[in-house]
Structure 1
Amino acid sequence: MNTVGSRLGWAVRDGWTITRRDLTHLANQPWQLVVSLLFPIMMVLMFGYLLGGAMTVPGGGDYREFLLPGMFGLTMVFGLERTLIAISTDASKGVTDRFRSMPMSGSAVVLGRCAADLLDSVVVLAILAGCGLLMGWDWHRGLDQAALAFGLLLWLRFAMLWVGIYLGLMLPGPEMVMAAQILVWPFGFLSSTFASPDTMPGWLGAVVEWNPLSATVSAARELFGNPGVGGDSWAAANALPLALAWPLLLTAIFFPLSVRRYRRLSR
């Protein structure tokens, strides 16, 4: 009987098959994990040790403790590039078309890709947190608050996954990936990752405060008990609700778009 439950179970089973396939590819190409970690570690070292002495945190506090939650969030956003490249490469090589010719759920490929990249992001975030602990960063409000902060970071990554999947399915080929990657950088750097919006011109600070990445980073700093929390604006005072709402909105938009785009490929 073709019930909603049976269709859901079919999608989950097929999605897990694709997840295992993508995880196997990652295991066979460990350099991808190394490359994804090199950038945030280099940025932390550069800003934390080379430039950190000239950086001030509004309200006082250690700049490296201010920086680390921002780098966690920035890494979750920049993970979009890996998703985009993987989806675009599969589509250009005909792998996606072969999947579509099989008797499998229409959403399994995008669900499987999402699950694999999210698991990869858990590993990346754990390694970055370990590096942060070695550098002197720490959380100060208990393990439960820290777990919630890490959950918010992965929640942002989950939303950005669907943006990456949709863009990867929309691009005509891997050669256009670079153009899409360029758009990620303004989104990542126009945030409170490296500096507080209070130190910026008024109009720029307002843009930064309403960036979804800034909301997640500010909420993570608050939950970790790290410096740089607070502000006079509504966005600064409600970082936690915004950190929940922004990824939910992005997921609500790009998840159905991704599934629909996948089903319409080659039509």
Structure 2
Amino acid sequence: MTSLALDSTAMLGRQLQRLKHAPGVLILTQSMPVSMLLFFGYVFGSALAVPGREYRAYLVPGLLVATAANGLMTGMFQAAQDSHRGVMDRLRTLPMSRAAVPVGQSAADLLTTALGMVPLMLVGLAVGWRIDAGPLAALGAFALVMLLRLTTTWIGSYLGLLTRSEEAAGQLGSATFMLPLLSNAYIPTDRLPSWLRTLAEWNPISAVASAVRELCGQGSPAAGAAWPVAHPVAGSLLWCGALLALFVPLAVRRYAHNGR
């Protein structure tokens, strides 16, 4: 194995040890999306009409993608916490690859997120969500969700290293809750005002949510949708690829020189 792989594996182990001593994080990761599904699905579901579809079946893919988008908040807070408490300074003195720490953190986050989505999918199946396009398409949908989580985690890591403050990261991270609301994760965008629809459909979350619904066999986007939503799989890959190409080197460089 290369030095980066060995060092990243060590950092992955460190992150998993942290989670072992903070079981509340895992419980919250698994319970919050399920709670939102039951709340939105049953409290608001009767008032929200989705043409040709049952609202809870429409909502589950959106919640999967919204959960993935929360990597922005998680990555930001973890990086800011380590930086604020001096952990990053100690790790930086070790003879390891400069990319190992953010890579290990991202890998640990992907693992816990994948496990945390299992209860949401099981409850989703229980309340009416179905996968009608076969196992390969379902795996593709899940892979896109994980790709979005990886992307948002790297963005969050960079922003957390930039702020270097737990308080600032917490406040900024809370604001990211608005991003899924400005997308088609919870409601269709075709009835929104034109300017708001354009904003929502160019949100990367909308492209991934549309891709997951399409791959699961739950219909196609409404007519006149923006290009990333009209071609959701390609749009998702382009969005995630462009954002990773931008923020991975920024995060690694910021980690290497943070505090200097």
CA drift at 1:127: 2.4
CA drift at 1:234: 4.1
Q: Could you tell which deviates more after superposition, 229-238 or 188-197?
A: 229-238
Aligned length: 259
Q: Output the amino acid matched with 1:147.
A: L
CA drift at 1:24: 1.4
Q: Could you tell which deviates more after superposition, 162-171 or 181-190?
A: 181-190
For residue 148 of structure 1, the aligned residue among 128, 136, 140 is: 140
Structure 1 equivalent of residue 165 of structure 2: 173
Q: Output the amino acid matched with 2:233.
A: L
CA drift at 1:133: 1.3
* Cα separation, 1, equivalents of 2:62 and 2:127: 15
Contact 2:81–2:164 (Cα < 8 Å) also in 1: no
Structure 1 equivalent of residue 151 of structure 2: 159
CA drift at 1:230: 3.5
Contact 1:145–1:223 (Cα < 8 Å) also in 2: yes
CA drift at 1:238: 1.0
* Cα separation, 2, equivalents of 1:227 and 1:194: 15
* Cα separation, 2, equivalents of 1:237 and 1:82: 30
Structure 2 equivalent of residue 39 of structure 1: 32
Matched, 1:132 2:144: no
Q: Could you tell which deviates more after superposition, 169-178 or 64-73?
A: 169-178
Return 5+ residue gaps in structure 1 as ranges: 1-7
Return 5+ residue gaps in structure 2 as ranges: none
Structure 1 equivalent of residue 188 of structure 2: 196
Structure 1 equivalent of residue 13 of structure 2: 20
Q: Alpha-carbon deviations, 1:20-45, whole Å to 9, x = none?
A: 11011112211101112333222211
Matched, 1:66 2:46: no
Classify the secondary structure of the residue corresponding to 2:131.
coil
Structure 2 equivalent of residue 247 of structure 1: 240
CA drift at 1:222: 0.5
CA RMSD of aligned residues (A): 1.4
CA drift at 1:79: 2.8
What is the TM-score with the length of structure 1 in the denominator? 0.93
Classify the secondary structure of the residue corresponding to 1:105.
coil
Q: Report runs of 4+ in structure 1 exceeding 6 Å deviation.
A: none
Classify the secondary structure of the residue corresponding to 1:51.
helix
Classify the secondary structure of the residue corresponding to 1:232.
coil
CA drift at 1:263: 0.7
For residue 89 of structure 1, the aligned residue among 35, 60, 81 is: 81
Classify the secondary structure of the residue corresponding to 1:66.
helix
Structure 2 equivalent of residue 103 of structure 1: 95
Contact 1:44–1:67 (Cα < 8 Å) also in 2: yes
Matched, 1:221 2:213: yes
* Cα separation, 1, equivalents of 2:135 and 2:236: 19
Q: Could you tell which deviates more after superposition, 68-77 or 219-228?
A: 219-228
Q: Output the amino acid matched with 2:231.
A: N
CA drift at 1:240: 1.4
Contact 1:68–1:137 (Cα < 8 Å) also in 2: yes
Q: Alpha-carbon deviations, 1:95-153, whole Å to 9, x = none?
A: 11111111111111111111111111111122211121122211011011111001111
Contact 2:45–2:55 (Cα < 8 Å) also in 1: yes
Contact 1:57–1:228 (Cα < 8 Å) also in 2: no
* Cα separation, 2, equivalents of 1:244 and 1:184: 21
Q: Alpha-carbon deviations, 1:67-103, whole Å to 9, x = none?
A: 1000000011113222221111111111111111111
Q: Could you tell which deviates more after superposition, 173-182 or 187-196?
A: 173-182
What is the TM-score with the length of structure 2 in the denominator? 0.95
